[in-house]
Amino acid sequence: MIRIGNASGFYGDRFDAVTEMLTGGELDVLTGDYLAELTMLILGRDRMKDPDRGYARTFLRQLEDGLALALDRGVRIVTNAGGLNPAGLAAAIRELAARQGLDVRVSHVEGDDLLGRGIDGALTANAYLGCWGIVECLNAGADVVVTGRVTDASLVVGPAAAHFGWRRDDLDALAGATVAGHVVECGTQATGGNYAFFTELADPVHPGFPIAEVAADGSAVITKHAGTGGAVTVDTVKAQLLYEIAGPRYLGPDVTSRFDTVTLIQDGPDRVGISGVRGESPPDTVKVCVNTLDGFRNAMTFVLCGLDIDEKAALARRQLTDAVGGDGLHWTLARTDHPDADTEEAASALLHATIRTTDAKRAKAFSRAAVELALASYPGFTLTSPPGDPSPVGVYRPEYVPQRDIEQVAVLPDGERRPIAPPTAFGTGTDDPPAEPAYTPGPTRRAPLGTVVAARSGDKGGDANLGVWVRDPAAYPWLLHELTTDRLRDLLPEARDRTIDRHPLPNLGAINFVLHGLLGQGVAASTRFDPQAKALGEWLRSRHVDIPEALL
């Protein structure tokens, strides 16, 4: 097997993780995932200021200590920290190595950047590449492989495919490694981070980063370094499996992975086995992450304390609207106040005001106008922050291009540019809903849904993904009966007018929902309280339902 660790789940993750992973135990490959849809927007704005930027500079700082450690331990590094400028990051790593007197073979992958290829109005436009450029770089002897926008799982699939000599038609092996890559891609979310039943963890304070031990057939064991915090259990792994997916067929540029064939077993303390994954040919198109700029936004929050909360909110709304106009203003009143409260904070509600506008001056005037109300508005007026400058609004949208139009290139350590051919076999499978088991009602008791149901939620552009599952197989028929799309709308009224896809996954005791358009135009443009739907699952778990007494 090959031991592939992860040291980053996003741009801004634990800085010391690279050193922790390199010194904490045995590894063959260390990966780092730094890219998300929002990150591509951030890097796009960086590149507007300086064309030599556009990569995750944090990663370069991590290598100041980590590069020598990796070379000393024989650990190869594969990362998508190249962002919009993989060649620039590769050059910067060579410069760092030269300063430290290290002999490092650095390679990078190009071809994801589709700006200027007929995608209108884009700040960034990057195709999700697969694993074969990484494979070519590793086979050429690279110590460090830098990519731009590849699928997150490709950071694991590439090293595994290179190690075992997989071919493009080894679909089951590729699919198994894709599932393992999906589990470890978000770092500590697989080892107890953001876990619904976190109160059961012995050490939730400093969870260790995950490791995938991938075998020649694509099966894997998820684990972590001995002595690190958190836990690796069937449920912590299942939580990440359900994160930001759609239906049972998980589409990728190299393989379609059947998540409805995944089998998980506890293989010992902090060891979870993944097996049985079936793979199918990939689709004939590749997803493209497109970001555009769409004006500016700003936000202020009013604190409303004591009596007459609704009337105080109404006055603040009238005054601010009168000052800057109502166009593009969005309001949310959070009734966090309690009657007869014993602290001032418990007696207070929050009125959130957000503006979206194409006029940067108006967006800045908005926050100044809110402050000018300080002595002329409701009694007890206060704000949670001083006036601030507006931020540009970025809007994400997915597009799709034919696989044949992607010109992926592996730039080898000696500078040779080696083209990567696209796949030639494609699949068009459809999902057939599984038969739902019979459910026999019995005595129930009113309780929070989260008493017996776990959840994990997140965002894909303007859509929210919500995966729920039960740990007791006996509870699954009830879960299917209870959580229909109509029932979900009842429990989450903010989704009442949204199209909702429902995907049962019996092998995981789970249902995955996609709530279309709940997040508007995506995280950078959303005016929602939770713009990435990270807490959507916890809101659902807090809702009270009638649960069979046998499950309680």
Reference 374, options 389, 364, 363, 385; nearest CA is: 385
Give per-residue pLDDT as tens, 508-529. Answer: 999 999 999 999 888 877 778 8
What is the structure's pLDDT at 429?
79
- Kindly report the length of the chain: 552
Query: Which two tokens mark 285?
Result: 């198109």
Q: Would you list the DSSP string of 265-318?
A: EE-STT-EEEE--EEEPPPSEEEEEEEEEEEEEEEEEEEEESS-HHHHHHHHHH
> 84 with 38: CB under 8 angstroms?
no
What angle do the packed helices 154-164 and 132-139 form, to 10 degrees? 50
CATH code at 294-395: 3.30.70.2750
Ordered by start, the domain boundaries in the chain are 2-289+401-420, 294-395, 444-551
Q: Which residues of the chain have pLDDT under 70?
A: none
Q: What is the pLDDT of residue 473?
A: 94
C-beta separation of 428 from 308 below 8 A: no
pLDDT at residue 126 in the model: 97
Q: Using DSSP, state whether 443 is helix, strand or coil.
A: coil
Model pTM above 0.75? yes
pLDDT in tens, 171-207: 999 999 999 999 999 999 999 999 999 999 999 999 9
Query: What number of other Cβ atoms are within 10 A of residue 252's Cβ?
Result: 27
SS3 413: coil
CA–CA–CA angle 304, 309, 312 (5° rounding)? 75
CB-hemisphere CA count at 13 Å for 339? 1
- Per-residue pLDDT, 120: 82
